[in-house]
Amino acid sequence: MDNGKVTRSRKAAGDGGTDKFFAIGDIHGNLSHLEQLMEEIKPAFTLQKDTLVFLGDYIDRGPNPKGVVDYILQLRKDFPHVVCLKGNHEAMFLDWIVNDKNYELFLYNGGGATIKSYSQEGEFKLPQEHLDFFTSLLLYYETEHYIFVHAGLREGIPLEEQDPHDLVWIRDEFILSPHDFGKVVVFGHTPLQRVYNTPNKIGIDTGAVYGGKLTCLELPAQRFYSV
């Protein structure tokens, strides 16, 4: 389920190039949560040195998907180091608007909220800047010590050979696997009541769109922020 333009990764030269990473979980149109979360992490964030990593699922289900994308686009203009990954909801969205496929699947998974957010006078209008954003999203982001990905990885497969579908959709096969991927894997996608924190996996989708919190992970300190 892809749009034909696959951007697999952007690999950092090494964690020494940035002081800290701030990974933010699934937003799903909850702009107010994102704004509050950015205020929470602001005192710890150094603009020129630290990196923001968004794990995907910016759209669908929540009240303001377009507002979330507008906000992140502004962040990318204001912050020198912002990494944006693709979630399964962006994959479904692109499958509809680029490939004209699986519209019903997109709607079933909360796409109506996105259509409403991008509609003006009853007409769906997606700005070119937003389309460019969606088509530029990365499937994963790798650094010296971490792998950031929306859903997870399948064991026994090199990172560069992972199936794009798995990277945005996999759940139990990844979460329950005892496999050590060689680096800490930071992921979202699977909503949980609290952060999933193990020595080699950290899951930070805490269900903001279901009444839970939006969570950010600061690395290497492993400090968590939630609103």
pLDDT digits (tens, 9 = 90+) for 119-174: 999 999 999 999 999 999 999 999 999 999 999 999 999 999 999 999 999 999 99
Going from the N-terminus, what domains does the chain have, and what CATH number goes with each? Answer: 21-226 (3.60.21.10)
What is the token pair recorded at 226? 């939630």
pLDDT 10s digits, 64-80: 999 999 999 999 999 99
Distance of CA 127 to the CA centre of its chain: 20
- CB count, 10 Å around CB of 182? 10
pTM assigned to the model: 0.94
pLDDT at 5 over 50: no
Q: Is 29 helix (H, G, I), strand (E, B) or coil?
A: coil
Q: Which string of DSSP letters, residue by residue, matches 116-160? A: HHTEETTEE---HHHHHHHHH-EEEEE-SSEEEESS---TTS-GG
